Amino acid sequence: MRLKRLHIRYYPPGIILDYVAGGQEKSRCIDLLHLTPTTNVNELLSEIRRIEPLITDSRTDQVKVLIKRLQDKLSQPDERNFYLFKALRAHILPLTNVAFNKSGSSFITGSYDRTCKIWDTVSGEELHTLEGHRNVVYAIAFNNPYGDKIATGSFDKTCKLWSAETGKCFYTFRGHTAEIVCVSFNPQSTLVATGSMDTTAKLWDVEDGKEVSTLEATTHSDRAQGRNQ
């Protein structure tokens, strides 16, 4: 393995490592969740080096600088004041999830009432109600940073792709055999990923609505079989 570069992650505190292994570029993160402004940097650095072989002598000073930058960030006073902006009578049954678009100008809510609603953040006005699921709308997502599409995942085992601007349903993705519990777009907004209680994840093409691939969970027996081969 060969370390290529280091990145800082301010929240939650951490350092991301980009490296090459087997000819492929990969990344992993050193989480520093317990870092405080008073943490001993040298002791922390020694612990990192003990568990992370990619941090060699030549990278020690760079990691120390990143840790101190994180400490400086943590030591800055937070002078933000939070207050109740609006209370919305959103759904007739409890909410399951909320998600904002990248600019924060609108947000969506999912509910046990089987709908998803799109709201204007400033006015609190309901823009669209997305209807069509036959069970709880449990997972919701904007295709940020674009924010022009919405994916909803339901306990009815389907995921739907909607227009955030008109509320029109583009596609209904069918194929899971149990409840869908998470949905997400890729950064390019070309794929939707769904995760289900059927222990699979599926990728769907945003343009044509077709299933691209199914990712199946690895069980203990699968891993044991792999070691025996």
Of 139, 210, 178, give the one whose Cα is nearest residue 150.
Answer: 139
Mean pLDDT of 172-192: 97
Q: Is this prediction's pTM over 0.85?
A: no
| 119-165 per-position pLDDT tens digit | 999 999 999 999 999 999 999 999 999 999 999 999 999 999 999 99
222, pLDDT greater than 70 = no
* C-alpha pair distances (Å), 215 with each of 177, 196, 201, 226: 14, 11, 5, 17
Residue 26 bridge partners (DSSP)? 19
CA-based nearest residue to 39, from 17, 6, 57, 13:
13
CATH number of 95-216: 2.130.10.10
- Position 210 scores a pLDDT of 97
Report residue 176 as tokens.
């899971």
> What band does 61 get if pLDDT is binned at 50, 70 and 90?
very high
DSSP-derived 3-state class of residue 128: strand
Determine the pLDDT at residue 80.
Answer: 77
- Residue limits of CATH 2.130.10.10 in the chain: 95-216
CA atoms within 13 A on the CB side of 137: 28
Assign 217 a pLDDT band (cuts: 50, 70, 90): confident
pLDDT at 169 over 80: yes
